[in-house]
Structure 1
C-alpha cells in the first residue's frame, strides 16, 4: 500500500480495538468503513456491546505511548477532561505477602472511564475524511471468493454484501467469526482456555476533591490458591471513584448495596473499605463475569484467506486483572499497518496473524500462569514452573523495591522478562509497611 491509499477496508466492530485499527487503515486505504451493531453517539456513554465498560480500565505504558503516537495530544486531552495522572509506582497494591513499595518508576498511571477514552478516540478517527461509521449495522459473516482463498466483503443484516479489499474483525470475545469460517469451508481455530473464574462487581461513588488522599488508585490482588477476594478503587474523571470488587475461583461480590459493602469490608485494603463506607454512591452496582483467558489460534490455520485479519479480544481475551488487553490491541493495529506497508492486503494478513501471536506470548503467560493456580490439573510442566516462579516473585516484592520496579517495567511491556532474572539487593524490610500504615 502507498501512503495515499487505495481500495476499501471494512472494520467489523466500533469499540476501542476497531477505532485504533480504523485510524491506521485511514492512512492506507481510500475508504475505511467501521461497522458497529450498537447505536453510537458523540457523548461518552456505555454501550450494550461493551458490558465491561462499567468496570476498571487502564493503559499500560507501552499502550499509552503507542496511542499517543496515533493520536498526538490524547494524554493531555484526557487529563483536561479530568482523567488524573500519577506515577504507577505510587499506586498502593496489597499482595498476599504485603504492600508494594512506594517507588518512582517513570511509568504513568492515567485513570479514566472506558466511555471517555472511546469517545475521545472516536471523535479523532471520525474526523478523518476517509473514515465513516455505520452504527446499528450488524455484520453477519465474512464472505470469501469461490476459491476460498480471499475475502471479498462482509454480509450485514438483510443479506447485503459490503465489498472490501480488507476486512478486519475486532468484535470482541463473542466473535462469530469461527462459525463463519466453518460455514465457508475453512477449519475453525484451535482455542486455548484458562479460566480462573474471575468476576468484577463495580459501583461509582462521588470523590471529595477538597481533601484528596495521597493515592490515585489502590488495589488488593487475588492470588491462587488462597486469596479469592480482592478489589480496587480508582479515580475517574468528573470527580468520581470507581470501586470494583474481584472474586476469583467462583467467588463473586453481591450486587445489593448491603452485600457489596460487606464484601468490601471483608478485604484488608482500607482504601476500598473507606470509599464504600464514606463516599456517596452515584449509581447501580454492575457485575461482569466470564473473564477467563481465551486465545483463538488463527495463526495456525493454513492457508489463511488473503485480506482477512483478526485482532483484539476477537483474537485473544486476556484476564483483565493484569491490564494488558488495550495495550495488546493497539500493538496489533500498529503491526497490521507495518505488514500492509510491506506486503499489501493480499499477502499481509497471513503474516500478520502469525506475528500477532508473538505480541500475545508475554501477556498470555503472565496472566494464565497465575490463573492456573486455581486448577493446576493437566497444566504443562512449563506452565507450572512459570506459575511457581511468578508466585515466588510476588512474595518478594514487598521487601524489594528494585525488583518491584523491574516487575512493573515487564508488566507494562517496556522491558524484557529476562530483567527479572537479574539478582537485586534486598530492599529495606516491608514488615512495618504491612498492616495499617497505608490507611
Structure 2
C-alpha cells in the first residue's frame, strides 16, 4: 500500500487526482477486516483510501492497534477459502517467510472426555503479525488502494439527500496533530474493530444507537513464546488442552510458528485470569487437566516474559435492525461483532462479510436499491449469527460469565446439555461422524441446522440413546419442532458457507 497525504498537506494530491470523488471509498482501519474490505472495494471503486492509526512497518511486527496480535490466531476453513479466492497463493507466501508447515503432522486434542490425535491437512502455523503482513503486501500491489498511516477518523461527513441522511466522507486528522481535514467519498466502511466509535457517531447524527447485545466474558490470555531446538521442531505440532469451563478449568495451547518459535497460551474466562508472572507461568501450565503442555515447555527455552490480554466483554451491534441507517456507510468485522478470540472466528467472519459486500456491490450496479447499505448490514447479520450464538452458548458455561441479549435462555441451556451428549458420543464413543459435524458447525463450515435442526437433533438423540433426556426438555404437548422454533434464533442456511464459493 502506498502512503498518501491528506488534501492540503502536499500539493492537494488527492483532490487533484484523476479519479472522481464519486468513485472513492474510505476504509477506517487497516487490520485484517480493513484489508479484506479494501481488496474487495478495489474491484468497484477507482480509489480506496485506508485510514490507519498505526505507522506500519515493512516487516512483520506487533503494533498498538492490534493489542491481541501477540497471541495465537487461527483461521477456520471458511476464512482460508476466502483468502485463497482473494489472494491466490497466500499460503505459499506464509511458508516462504518461514511459517511452520503443519500438513501431515499430528494435532493433539485433550479434553476431560478423551484425548485424540489426528493429522493435519494443508495448514500453516504463523503469528498474527506475519499473517497480516503477507495479506498487506498483497493489498499493496493494488494500484487503487492507498493508506494514510498514523491518521484517524474523528467523525463522519454527512449531508441530507431529501429526507434521508447520507455519509459523504470522513473528517481525518494525523494522530500527532489537532487539525483535521475533510476527505470526501462515495462510501465509508468502518473496519476499526471492537473499539469502534460508530455507535456514538450514529447517535450524534440522530440515527439512534443499536440494541447492542453484550456477553460479559471477563476472559484473559497469557501468552509466552518459546524457542524450539532443531531436534524437537517436528516432534510437537499443535496441542490443545481443554478444561471443563463449568469447573473453571483453564485451557492451554501450544502452536509452532515462524522463526523456530512456538506460541503457548493459557486461557480463562469469567474472571479466572492466568498469570503473567514468569515464575508462575509454567506452574500454571502444569495445573491444566493434562501435563502435556508443561512437559513440552520443560524442554524449551522461553523467549521473553508472558504477556496478558483481557477482554471484559464481547459485543454484537445489530446495525441491520436499526430503523435509520445512512446511505454511503457500512460496518464490517469486529466493528459489528467482537467475538471471544479463543474460537478463531473473527477473521473468518470478516472474510465472509467482505465477499458478501462484493456480491452486494455487483447487485447495486445492476439494480436500483436506495437502501442497499442497510440491506447489506442485514445480510452481515445472517453471517454473524451462527458464530455469535456459538460463543454465547460456550462461554456461558464459565462461572462468572453473563449475557445481555435476545437469545433464549432455555435454548442456550438445551444446547449446552445437547452438546455434552454429542461430545460424549464423539469423543468417548469414537463417533467421528458426529465429531466432524460438531467441528464443522463450530468452525462455520456447516450451517447450524446440520447439528441443531429438528432432523439432526432426532438423529443424534436416537444415536446416543437419549430419547428420555429429550422428552424431559419439552413441555407437555410441545413438539420438538415448536420448541426449536421458539428457543433458537432464525438461522439462514448456507449464507456463511457460500461466502467462499
TM-score by length of 1: 0.90
2:184 equivalent in structure 1 = 163
Structure 1 residue 87: Cα displacement: 5.6
User: Which of residues 60, 63, 79 in structure 2 aligns to 1:63?
Assistant: 79
Which is higher, the Rg of structure 1 or of structure 2? 2
Q: Which runs of 5+ in 2 are unaligned?
A: 1-20, 174-178, 465-501
The corresponding residue for 1:357 is: 381
Question: Does the aligned pair in 1 maintain the 2:222–2:274 contact within 8 Å?
Answer: yes
- Give the RMSD, CA atoms, in angstroms: 2.4
Alignment partner of 1:383 is 2:398: no
Alignment CA distance shift 1:230-1:403 (3 Å): same
Q: Give the 5 Å matches for 1:21-60.
A: 21-60=37-76
Residue 380 of structure 2 aligns to a residue in which SS? helix
Contiguous gaps of at least 5 residues in structure 1: 427-439
- In structure 2, the partner of 1:120 is 134
Structure number with greater CO (CA < 8 Å, separation at least 6) is: 1
Quick check: 1:149–1:305 contact (8 Å CA) kept in 2? Answer: yes
- 1:203 and 2:224 aligned: yes
Distance 2:117 2:92 in 1: 25
Task: Measure the CA separation in 2 of the matches of 1:22 and 1:319.
Answer: 25
**Gap change, CA 1:192 and 1:223, over 3 Å in 2:** farther
Deviations 1:44-67 (A, max 9, x none): 011101010000101111110110
Answering whether residue 401 of structure 2 is matched by residue 372 of structure 1, we say: no
Greater shift after overlay, 377-386 or 139-148? 377-386
Displacement of 1:104 after TM fit? 5.7
Q: Given the superposition, is the C-alpha separation of residues 291 and 204 from structure 1 closer, same or farther in structure 2, using an over 3 Å criterion?
A: farther
Q: Contact 1:17/1:330 (CA < 8 Å) preserved in 2?
A: yes
Q: For 1:223 and 1:168, locate their aligned partners in 2 and report how far apart those are by CA, in whole Å.
A: 40
Q: Does 1:252 align with 2:273?
A: yes
**Which has the larger displacement, 161-170 or 226-235?**
226-235
Q: How does 1:3-402 map to 2 (within 5 A)?
A: 7-86=23-102, 90-99=106-115, 101-103=116-118, 108-146=122-160, 147=163, 149-157=165-173, 158-290=179-311, 292-344=313-365, 347-374=371-398, 375=401, 380-399=409-428, 400=430, 401-402=432-433
CA contact under 8 A between 2:112 and 2:289: conserved in structure 1?
Answer: no
Taking a change above 3 Å as real, the CA distance of residues 78 and 336 of structure 1, as seen in their structure-2 partners, is same
Count of equivalent residues: 421
Residues 221-262 of structure 1: per-residue CA shift (max 9 Å, x gap): 244311431110101011100011112221112211111121
Structure 2 CA distance for aligned equivalents of residues 122 and 213 of structure 1: 29
TM-score (norm 2): 0.79
Equivalent-residue separation in structure 2 for 1:75 and 1:396 (angstroms): 35
Distance change in 2, residues 1:117/1:392 (3 Å): same
Whether 1:410 and 2:434 are equivalent positions in the alignment is no
Deviations 1:13-43 (A, max 9, x none): 0111100110001111000000001111111
Segment of structure 1 superposing worse, 15-24 or 109-118: 109-118
Q: Deviations over 1:396-429 (max 9, x none)?
A: 3322223212222223322233333344978xxx
